[in-house]
Chains A and B, each alone.
Chain A
Amino acid sequence: MTVTRRHDARLHVSRRDFLTLGAGSFLGVVASWRLAAQQPDSLPGTGPAGRVSDPARAGRPLPPVTAADNDAAIQAIEKQIHCTCGCNLDVYTCRTTDFTCTVSPAMHQRVLALAQQGQSGQQIIDQFVRDHGIAILMAPPKRGFNLAGYFVPSLAIVVAAVALTLVLRRWVRAARPAAPAAPLGDAGATPEELARLRRELERLPS
């Protein structure tokens, strides 16, 4: 069979090829229809989901979320623990923002395991401190030299405020004799100058 196409090109297709192609297409359509009917993967919430074409593009595969992942108590613990991947974030923030990190999910699993053993939040944190040292905490504990970390800024501000108040009081006292409540005329201003002063002051915003 010879098919003449619009643009002068000639396409040679044998009858056998033509029939094979037609039958194949028909079967393909039927098969896909049957597949959809048999396996409603992509229909809303009715079964296992279909596969994506290239899973590697979507990053590291993740396990499904469990109830413990959303547990506020677990999250509160993880927000006090420093992720050791070098990100400067806490474990909870790191595991929920940096999905390339493998350290924070492991630390999360450790928190879950300790919680399942019946340990309290403080016990879990203490365990992490024993394992990794004090740097594992997002804020240093309030004891020893660390107290300086918490109180030096506030103390410095209070001391500076007291000093500033004392200095200001001294300045005010020193200024008082120098600024007697004398009439304006004592400054040597003429009535014209005073009138100009009033005009200028009126023009100024309050």
Chain B
Amino acid sequence: MTVLGNLALWLALLVGVWGALAGFVGRRQARPDLAHSARRAVFAMCGALLVAVFALEWALFQHDFNVEYVAAYTSRNLPIFYTWSALYAGQKGSLLFWATVLSVFGSLALVFTPRRHHELLPTVAGVVALVASFFISVMLFGHANPFHRLPYTPLDGSGLNPQLQNPGMVFHPPMLYLGYISITIPFAFAIAALLSKRVDADWLVAIRKWTLLSWLFLSIGICLGMWWAYVELGWGGYWAWDPVENASLLPWLTMTAFLHSVMVQEKRGMLKKWNLALIIGSWLLSIFGTFITRSGVISSVHSFTQSSVGYFFLAFLIATGIASFALYATRLPLMTAETRLESMVSREASFLFNNLLLIGIAFSVLWGTLFPILSELVQGTKVTVGPPFFNQVNVPLGLALLALTGIGPLIAWRRASLPNLRRQFAVPATAGGLTLLVLLVGGMRDFYALMAIALGGFVAATIVQEFARGARARHRQYDEAYPAALGRLIARNRRRYGGYIVHTGIVILFVAFAGMAFKTETEATLRPGESASLRSPYGHTYTFTHLGISQYDALNRQITAATLEVRRNGKPIGYLTPEKRQHVDGLGRPTFQPSTEPAIRSMLREDLYVVLGGIVDGTEQAVFRFTINPLVWWVWYGGMIVALGGLIVMWPGGAPAARRAQAGYGVRLVGDDR
């Protein structure tokens, strides 16, 4: 099967190179035969890469430990889901996964793009083939071939790192990869639009859903990653400003900026240059993230082992960056705005400031991530840039962005009058002020937490006001009952109200982040029968009583578990069993050092997070860390609401009026000559 895999890789490379050449030459010479050939090359490359994936999965499931990759990431007793996900657990397999998913997305884009955009497709095929060919080249020429065989066959493999043996492994990396990879499609359309000089709003329609899809995958991937980092000890909590975490946030921020500014282009024909730059920038940032993860140039808990692959990515990043922006620069004269900004107090202006903040945050995260390298170059000293730095720089910016999330929807398009502003802001500003007052009276003094929750109140009131006004208008106009009016309001204006649902999720996330300012924790050594108490920020007292240690075998691990009875204000609420896990291979030999699995009791207001640090002198006396993390539940549900909102925005259909507005400038809606 590895022979088949290698053959498939070489075939994919040859077909990919041909597809890239045929795509670009076919467009330049307007030769339909070459354009068709490029399209078919992408399909063929996709087929070849799927065969390669099948071959690798076959080797993984057959425990062919003569294959270096299989021996490095699996063992005979590895559960089936993790054996499957070993496909992308290591550097080599993940490169194959990247190339394959890109070719699948490319094929889908070529099949499902409406006929009116067919002029762009040869270039789209060319770009997809070029990028996928690069990834295949890295595998074949960068010592990253997943089918490489060992000179001997080990009895069993090394197994998967215990931290990766978590359900998060099955869902988080693919989601993040899907997000990173699918940005290539909007990028390919942007390059096609630039090359063919079709930089109107039309090409935007072709890529809007792809950008949304990419944003949605990245959002889900980031939230799943936060959950995984929280439930799996050793990654410093759900967000630790690690370079690899930052690398996933960067394209998310630029795509969020694009999804806002694209509305200005669609409705008013403005910001063409800016939108194109955002798409190109987002794609380059996704490649930058791949470079950071794979080069080892910046130390990270998430990165793959250091390898020469990083140089390939750096060269590719620089070459494609220069080529893309050079092309962009030559087309700048074509991208003039079709209308002018009429007022500083308008939705357009608020979107521009929203973009400024999003890009500002992206810049500050990028700056902080790269500052250690910069410092080494300038001062000769490598500094550490950790959470204190990022929090200091980014928390105020994040709060300003949260405020704009509420302000933007309250300001009218084109021009907002003073009476209109007064009417729009009255309820949300009052709600925000009241929230602040209640918190201050309640004794909260943490400045950032106060601001986050008060601004959250302001934005939430904005959203409620928007939904209430829309539902009331439908109730009056169509005599619909309020629940039906609300449902139809969302169904017929998915983009707008789905966007508000995303904003709701963002508000919940910010409030949940603020909750971590009130985290309490303690460490204790307990003998069986002994208890430790911890007071929550809400005034409850939790008592944890150590009942004893038990040891048993399960699947591919030997478990040492402590059982603790938990009481809230003296009343029993359940048991928690934090564990130590010693993973073993198929022959019963320990594979990694024992890992630590926390026990978590997640509640609406707070999480109880208990860690078994270890045991004392081989006895049942154990060292525990008890933590109360307020509002963590809301992080996961805020993330789900963001994803739900994104899905609603993406869902096809909607009202004819909304569809027309999505298909071109809003002003055409009433001005066309039908």
Residues of A within 8 A of B (CB): 41-46, 48-65, 69-70, 79-80, 82, 86-90, 93, 96-100, 133-140, 144-146, 149-150, 152-154, 156-157, 160-161, 164-165, 168-169, 171-172, 174-175, 178-179, 193, 196-197, 200-206
Residues of B near A165 (CB, < 8 A) are: 344
A4 to B127, CA, bound (A): 82
Q: How far is the CA of A138 from the CA of B240 in the complex (A)?
A: 12
Q: In the complex the two chains form, is B379's CB within 8 Å of A144's CB?
A: yes
With the chains together, A97 CA to B232 CA distance in Å? Answer: 9
Q: Which A residues lie within 8 Å of B301 (CB)?
A: 87-89
With contact pairs A44-B530, A154-B393 given, residues A51 and B619 touching in the complex (Cβ less than 8 Å):
yes
Residue of B234, B470, B473, B524 ringed by the most chain A CB atoms within 10 A: B234
| 6 pairs, A vs B, C-beta closer than 8 Å | A49-B621, A51-B618, A52-B551, A153-B397, A157-B360, A205-B489
Give CA–CA (A42, B616) in the complex, Å.
15
Q: Are B619 and A54 closer than 8 Å at their CB atoms?
A: no
The answer on a CB contact under 8 Å between A96 and B385 is no
B392 within 8 Å of A by Cβ? yes
Q: Do B384 and A82 touch across chains, with their CB atoms under 8 A apart?
A: yes
Map CB proximity to A onto B593-621 as digits: 1 under 8 Å, 0 otherwise: 11110000000000000011111111111
B609 vs chain A, min Cβ distance (A): 11
Task: Please tell me if the beta carbons of B234 and A98 are within 8 angstroms of each other in the complex.
Answer: yes
Q: Say which residue of A70, A169, A171 sits within 8 Å of B522 (CB atoms).
A: A70
- CB-CB under 8 A for A152 and B388, given A161-B353, A161-B356: no
Complex Cα gap A139–B343 (Å): 42
Which residues on B sit within 8 Å (CB–CB) of A178? Answer: 340
Judge whether B594 and A139 touch: CB under 8 Å: no
Give the chain B neighbours of A150 by CB distance below 8 A: 389, 392-393
Across-interface contacts of A168 in B (CB, < 8 A): 341, 344, 349, 352
Closest 10 pairs between A and B when the two form their complex, measured CB to CB: A44-B529, A175-B340, A153-B364, A55-B618, A49-B620, A45-B529, A62-B614, A59-B594, A138-B386, A157-B360
A140-B528 in contact (CB<8A): no
Known: A144-B379, A168-B349, A200-B657. A58 touches B342 (CB 8 A): no
**Chain B residues within 8 Å of A97, by CB:** 233-236, 596, 611
Q: For residue B624, which residue of chain A has the nearest CB?
A: A65
B669: Cβ under 8 A from any A Cβ: yes
B360 proximity list for chain A (CB < 8 A): 153, 156-157, 160
Known: A42-B528, A146-B383, A153-B393. Contact between A88 and B300, CB under 8 A? yes
Alpha-carbon distance between A196 and B242 when the two chains are bound, in angstroms = 55
Given the complex, which residues of A lie within 8 Å of B340, measured CB to CB? 171-172, 174-175, 178-179
Query: Which residue of chain A has its CB nearest to the CB of B618?
Result: A55
Stretch at the interface among B37-45, B164-172, B367-375, B645-653: B367-375
Q: Are A57 and B558 in contact (CB under 8 A)?
A: yes
A188 to B240 Cα, complex, angstroms: 60
Q: CB-nearest residue of chain B relative to A202? A: B477
Cβ-defined contact, A52 with B560, below 8 A: yes
Q: Which residue of A lies closest to B339 (CB)?
A: A175
Chain A residue numbers with a CB within 8 Å of B226 are none
Q: Can you name 5 extra interface pairs (CB under 8 A) apart from A57-B594, A146-B375, A164-B353?
A: A57-B558, A150-B392, A157-B397, A205-B493, A206-B469
Chain B: number of interface residues, binned into ranges: 35 or more
Report how far A41 CA is from B618 CA in the complex, Å. 14
Main secondary structure of the interface of B (DSSP, over half): mixed
Query: A131 to nearest B CB, angstroms?
Result: 15
Q: A135, B523: Cβ atoms under 8 Å?
A: no
Q: Are A96 and B625 in contact (CB under 8 A)?
A: yes
Which partner residue on chain A sits nearest B559 by CB separation? Answer: A57
Pairwise interchain contact A175-B342, C-beta atoms closer than 8 A: yes
Pair A52/B657 contact, Cβ less than 8 Å: no
Q: How far is it, in angstroms, between the C-alpha of A206 and the C-alpha of B379 when the chains are bound?
A: 55
Shortest CB distance B411–A (Å) = 12
Which among B363, B384, B551 is the interface contact of A139 at CB below 8 angstroms?
B384
B86 CB–A CB distance under 8 Å: no
How many Å from the CB of A5 to the closest CB on chain B? 31
| Contacts A58-B580, A87-B301, A205-B489; A153 near B363 (Cβ below 8 A) | yes
Of the candidates A55, A161, A169, A178, the one having the most CB atoms from chain B within 10 angstroms of its own CB is A55
**Are B496 and A205 neighbours in the complex by a CB distance under 8 Å?**
yes
B320 within 8 A of A: no
Q: Contact: B528 with A53, CB < 8 Å?
A: no
Q: Does B2 sit within 8 A of A, measured CB to CB?
A: no
Please, which residues of chain B bring their CB within 8 A of the CB of A50? 528, 619-620
**Which residues of A sit under 8 angstroms from B393, Cβ to Cβ?**
150, 153-154
A64 to B621, CA, bound (A): 9
Task: Mark each residue of chain B from 650 to 671: 1 if its CB lies under 8 Å from any CB of chain A, else 0.
Answer: 0000000100000000000110
B35 at the interface (CB under 8 A from A): no
Q: Is the CB of A62 within 8 A of B613?
A: yes
Give the distance in Å from the alpha carbon of A41 to the alpha carbon of B619 in the complex: 10
List residues of chain B with CB within 8 A of the CB of A161: 353, 356
* Docked CA distance A54–B557 (Å): 13
Q: Does any Cβ of A come within 8 Å of B588's Cβ?
A: no
Tell me how far the C-beta of B441 lies from the nearest C-beta in chain A, rounded to whole angstroms.
27
Chain A residue at minimal CB-CB distance from B270 = A171
CB distance A140 to B375 under 8 Å?
Answer: yes
B357 engages A145 (CB within 8 Å): no
* A139–B389 CB distance below 8 A: yes
Query: Which residue of chain A has the shortest Cβ distance to B163 in the bound complex?
Result: A98
The residue that B615 contacts in the complex, of A52, A156, A175, with Cβ under 8 A, is A52
Complex alpha-carbon distance, A157 and B342, angstroms: 24
Please, how many angstroms separate the alpha-carbon atoms of A79 and B656 in the complex? Answer: 56
Whether B623 is near chain A, meaning CB under 8 Å from some CB there, is yes
Note all chain B residues with C-beta closer than 8 A to A140.
Answer: 371, 375, 383-385, 389
Contact pick for B341, options A45, A64, A175, A200, CB 8 Å: A175
In the assembled complex, which residues on chain B have CB atoms less than 8 Å from the CB atom of A149?
367-368, 371, 375, 383, 385, 389
Nearest chain B residue, comparing its CB with the CB of A50: B620
